[in-house]
Chains A and B, each alone.
Chain A
């Protein structure tokens, strides 16, 4: 495996906001990454910096070994249709798909046509008159059919119905299997995509707080349920990520448990259940929020 993206001490400051704050990470080739985080966490800014659409305040970005800023050799291998992508007002979807192959050397028009059918996208309607979901569908189709070695999807599902979202996930996996590439997917619907992701980056307040293999992350937390006394006794020596109490019952989330610890828990009459990626992200981003408030 080799790194397609290498970011070191990257920061981007707007007037009063540190949108990206001293971030270091790398992205391996031919892997699907999830870039997760709350609204305003810095996801889009990171992607704009990686694609040379915005300029870093400080730090170093290498994409395919080179700086992406004004670098045609790098950018030609990138597809990044962001959630708020603007299209020329007078354009119809057909103009987008007519011009896309000029820009993306790997463009597959048969695949694009199939996706247009899948999403039932009207080709001869002005962009201004499209619904939010149809607008998102254009971005999804361009992102998939361009088959760029490094493809970004920035909240691609916005306004898409459940069926269309499922089509997106299915087509992405299918095509990824046949044409491996590096995909960075930013999303709020973490549970929906959690099976898709191979690696997870969680960004909060402009900082990367989780950078882990999705597989490792899935087992990295467990919820312990049982009577309050038994749960507290079991979880006392551990770091508690989250706790909920209801009468005499308790539900407490802790970190990874070893097989021995699992046996111990079972003997104490406790129930163990895995924590979903979404819950994990919610818990972790809440914790960092509190820490931030305390330090402020």
Chain B
């Protein structure tokens, strides 16, 4: 039993105990609820009358228990009748569609246009007050709720394969509805039922309070509160008891409804909200800052925090980017290239964090460790010294703000200036990234632009403050090939305009690497396996994975297109030694030990200990 289920059963048990009292009222040793006892009017709690006596000297406790019967009878009665009628209408409407749908579903929705209490009052005017009238009125009110829920669920279930299969086998529609569709819509029905019972109790007590519901002298919580209100300066306690009973019952029902929803649709999202909103402890650097030209990543690891400790996702990433260089991070999906980019800007998803290493970055104020900065310390750097281009521009742009405003925001945030001046700068930027008619486009919302234009706007945003380092996370992956080529040309042009800018280009596309990058880091299973200039690595790969990767690309010179056997190991199940060994044709006994990044000369590195015996003579 899960925690959510246990919690639900505890609350259901409590509800069952409480419901037992009114159900057993006729056999409980309760005092009469109707007779008068004038000498004991407004008497406080006593041994004989635990909750005291009311304005006619009647026992309050027994009136509360008997009063619950009226509330529960009306609420459960109407919720049940409405459930039966609403379910039938919803099933028929959702399954047969067409005219049945209009008659069964749409017509009931008109009832929703009337505020609930008013329809009940309309019915009461015609039929007169009383328990039966209330039940009828509330049933009419609740039917559309059930119809809607069941209709939506039926539409969903009706489209499922097993229902289609039964139809194909010629099963009678009513049989399908009863046997297949109905059991599948039970969960939303249960939630709706607990909601309507709570709402029924509220409406019954409200109408009784107005004197339009249960007819006195029969006891009802609403009537008791009505009477207590008239006498509240004499005995305020009389107001307390029925109010407590009423609010407590509704609260109990609401809690049960919440727990029911927890059980039926367990929340997968981690609790705790956004990590970046929490207060962060400033970390003191555990190493002196080295002199770096722009960026130097040392032994950077990213891990995910789990209940049973943390699990490493990337391990010992190391590379360097000098001003003007373009470093491509290349590898299969899941190799950790995007995480590395996000770790450098402190934008890792909630449960993920940097677990070790440094990312030294040169700012005007000196060298800082990007891996140890707090959210506040990142503020002046992000969008100014370091900026990012994300893969999915449609999601990365805010849908409710105009493009121009979103761009002006990043400019004004780092360089305060009047709105007009920022706007003029935005127009210039958009023109620079090749968006036609920028004066008008700044008024457009993201959804009004094409995919390519959105990505251009995203890039314009990233270069708005002439950053020293631009991190582009698969900026062309979501685009079609002709647009991809245009965007790559745009990157090349921006590089010409700002020659000192270092770029980290995350991609899985080797052809893109060849076109845009000066240097490349090949990543595999959370590690860098090979590094060097693009030219040399492509001409003379020194890691079996790089070699295999190059051979698997249609654009390569390999005679035959090869695929790499096996799959990338899962995080948490990484091999102790070389992570590529299980898929490598050259694996030897020594590969079972952890592999360091070896310097192979000419500024190149590889994580293959056999590189020398495998390829030295070839090179």
Answer yes or no: are A and B bound together in one complex.
no
Q: Taking beta carbons and an 8 Å cutoff, which residues of A are in contact with B?
A: none
Q: Taking beta carbons and an 8 Å cutoff, which residues of B are in contact with A?
A: none
